[in-house]
Amino acid sequence: MSSPTRLVVLGAVHQFQPVHGYFLRRELLTWRVDEWANIQPGSIYNALRSLEKDGYVAVSGTEQNGKRPERTTYEVTPTGEVALLRMLRETLWKVDPFDTQAAMVLSSFMFILSREEVIAGLQHRITEIDAVVVTNRYHIEDTAQSSTTPKYVREIFELSTARLSAEQTWARELVERLQGGAYFFSGESGGTPAVAAPPDEPSAESAG
Amino acid sequence: MSSPTRLVVLGAVHQFQPVHGYFLRRELLTWRVDEWANIQPGSIYNALRSLEKDGYVAVSGTEQNGKRPERTTYEVTPTGEVALLRMLRETLWKVDPFDTQAAMVLSSFMFILSREEVIAGLQHRITEIDAVVVTNRYHIEDTAQSSTTPKYVREIFELSTARLSAEQTWARELVERLQGGAYFFSGESGGTPAVAAPPDEPSAESAG
DNA sequence: TCCCATATAGACAACTTTGACTAATCGAGA
DNA sequence: TCTCGATTAGTCAAAGTTGTCTATATGGGA
């Protein structure tokens, strides 16, 4: 039961921990996660509780900034780190012809894996897509032959093929960029970090 | 609140009415609607009740085949027909860069609209996609300039652009096929109907 | 000084989705 | 004739999603 929501929230907690729900809500909205992964604010709080129930994240404390409402801050547990890697790997290596969110989620969190694994996974996707495209071609032929299958089913497979080819081209270019040293991955040091601002106040000098 | 589930179920009731839930469940599964629209059996029965509550479909009776469990059969109401057209038009004319199901749903139910409107809508999508692709290019440039935006956001826009271009190519080819007379639309007569088998028993001579 | 728009942090009820489960019936083969 | 697996038709509790609502606090302007 690893919905994109849980993976995105777990990955975000991993990157910004210790972090509270409202920060994630703002940060993920700047990522436009509501558009490409259909994650609305309310779902984030639910995902946090759900991940907590599974022991993947734990409450690390409660803060209060002045007399603002109290915040509950979360951290990823060791179990959660393992689960995060497992979920990411599954997203990287499993090709679902109709799952168009997987690649978006990957783009956001691939840095948690190593550069080598991501490149290998992408190359696997590329060949895997070749196979699916061939399968689609036979589906289209079958549809043309069959008298009971609605003819327009062809269109769904044509579109699926077109989309997958597009993803394949993108994956090829991304592999090239990654082999050329683009971005920074787990275990690599130096350069601009791939992540955004730290979890502290975006515009406050509170720490003093 | 017009989720793909509601549109698909309403469209399917329209095509097969009077029809019972279990028929829809089997028929939609042969369409692989669980793969490309994430509609599981349980959701179909829920959508029927939800559409009934809104007055879009109405119970047209209950049948019983031998001593099998009773079936509740549904029909689309006049209100529901209007709503179906409205929902379909919205799906046809509105381009959402990250909604990858819209085009699939369209493929299945475009025949409820007229050939002319579908062609016009597809042509609108094609130019609309040009605009989104240009927007994406600027997003990518902005990302490269900005010091706060994570660099990898670029990948999401690159992928979005690739997918949209693929959909555009598909739409162009579909327009050509439609202009060439492919498929049969609302108001057109003759030829093979675009829909599948009738709602009666798939393998029984009950009517006598 | 007071006021109001905005920000903060999260809760919540209504709704939808999931997929295993039920309870009966049919039918092919022993 | 009997048995056992598949089919039928749909239910249900658990989970996830939605997006408005709350209650406070801040800060800039009249």
pLDDT (tens digit per residue) in B19-30: 999 999 999 998
Residue A103 backbone zone (phi > 0: left; psi -120 to 50: alpha; other: beta): alpha
Q: What is the pLDDT of residues B156-208, one digit of tens each?
A: 889 999 999 999 999 999 999 999 999 999 888 755 444 444 344 433 333 32
Report pLDDT for A66: 65
Partner-chain contact B98 A194, CB within 8 Å: no
Please list the alpha-helical segments (H only) found in A17-152.
21-30, 33-36, 41-53, 78-93, 102-109, 115-145
Q: Residues of B with CB below 8 A from A162's CB?
A: 166-167, 169-170
A positions 172-191 inside 8 Å of B (CB): 173-174, 183
- Is the CB of A194 inside 8 Å of chain B's CB atoms? yes
Q: What is the pLDDT of residues B69-90, one digit of tens each?
A: 778 999 999 999 999 999 999 9
Partner-chain contact B170 A148, CB within 8 Å: no
pLDDT, average across residues A18-25: 94
Chain D: bases < 7 Å from a protein Cβ: 8-13, 15-20, 23-26
Q: Using an 8 Å Cβ cutoff, are B13 and B57 in contact?
A: yes
pLDDT, average across residues A132-159: 84
Q: Report the b/e string of A71-86 with b at 16+ CB within 10 A.
A: bbbbbbbeebeebbee
Q: Residues of B with CB below 8 A from A139's CB?
A: none
- Residue B101 CA to D8 C1' — how many Å? 31
CA-closest candidate to residue A110, choices A127, A93, A132: A93
Partner-chain contact B155 A167, CB within 8 Å: no
Q: Using an 8 Å Cβ cutoff, are B194 and A151 in contact?
A: yes
Choose between B32 and A201: higher pLDDT.
B32
Report pLDDT for B26: 93
pLDDT at A205 over 50: no
Nearest-by-CA chain A residue for B101: A98
Q: Residue type at A115? A: R
Please report which confidence band the pLDDT of residue A192 belongs to, taking 50, 70 and 90 as the band edges. very low
User: What's the topology of domain B4-91?
Assistant: Arc Repressor Mutant, subunit A (1.10.10)
Is-cis flag, bond preceding A18, omega within 30? Answer: yes
- Is the CB of A71 inside 8 Å of chain B's CB atoms? no
- Show the tokens assigned to A70: 């109290």
Cα gap A39→A105, rounded to integer Å = 12
In the complex, which nucleotide's C1' lies nearest to the CA atom of residue A45?
A: C10
Partner-chain contact B107 A160, CB within 8 Å: no
Give Cα A55 distance to the centre of its chain: 20
Specify the range with the lowest mean pLDDT, choosing from A20-34, A141-155, B169-183: A141-155
Question: Which residue is associated with the tokens 């529901």?
Answer: B80
Please report which confidence band the pLDDT of residue A190 belongs to, taking 50, 70 and 90 as the band edges. low
Report pLDDT for A2: 61
In the complex, which nucleotide's C1' lies nearest to the CA atom of residue A69?
A: C9
Q: What is the pLDDT of residues B19-62, one digit of tens each?
A: 999 999 999 998 889 999 999 999 999 999 999 999 999 998 88
CATH class of A4-83: mainly alpha
Neighbours of A54 (CB within 10 A): 15
Segments making up each domain of chain A, as ranges = 4-83, 114-179
Of all residues in chain A, the percent with pLDDT exceeding 90 is 65
Choose between A181 and A203: higher pLDDT.
A181
Q: What is the pLDDT of residues B144-158, one digit of tens each?
A: 877 767 788 889 889
